[in-house]
Structure 1
Amino acid sequence: MEKELHIENNEKEQTILNLVEDDKVLNQLIKGKLVKAGYKCDSFYTGKDYIEYIENCQELPTLLLVDYNLPDMNAPEIINQLNALKKGIPFVVLTGHGDQKIAVDMMKRGAIDYFIKEQGFLDLLPSLINQAVNRLKVTRQLADSQIALRKSEEKYRTIFENISDIFFELDESGIILEISPSVETAFNFIRKQVINQSLFFDDKILQQFLSIVQEKKIVSDFEIAVQTPLNKKVFCSVSAQVMISNEDASPRIVGIMRDITERKHAEIAIKESKEKYKQLNAEMAKQKLELEIEKRKTEKLLLNILPAKIAEELIQKGFAQPQYYKQVSVLFADIEGFSHIVRDFSPIELVEKLDEYFYEFDEIIEKFKIEKIKTIGDCYMCAAGIPVRNQSNPIEIVIAGLQIQQAIEKLKHKSLSKKHTPFELRLGIHTGEIVAGVV
Structure 2
Amino acid sequence: MSTILIKNAQVVNEGEIKVQDIFIKDGRIEQIAPSIDKIATQEIDADGLHLLPGLIDDQVHFREPGLTYKADIFTESRAAVAGGTTSFMEMPNTVPNTLTQKLLQDKYDIGQDSSLANYSFFMGAGNDNLEEVLKTNPRDVCGIKVFMGSSTGNMLVDNETALANIFQNAPTLVATHCEDETTIRTNLAEYKERYGEDITINMHPAIRSEEACYLSSSKAIELALRYDTRLHILHISTGKETHLFSNDIPLEKKRITAEACVHHLWFSDADYASKGNLIKWNPAVKTAADREEIWRAVLDGRIDVIATDHAPHTLEEKTQPYLQAPSGGPLVQHALQALLDQVKQGRLTLEQLVQKTAHNTARCFQIEQRGFIREGYWADMVLVDLNKSYTVTKENILSKCKWSPFEGHTFSATIEHTIVSGNVAFSSGKIQEVGSGHRMLFDR
- State the TM bucket, normalised to the shorter chain: under 0.3
Higher relative contact order (CA 8 A, sep 6+): 2
Q: Which has the larger radius of gyration?
A: 1
TM-score, with structure 1 as normaliser: 0.17
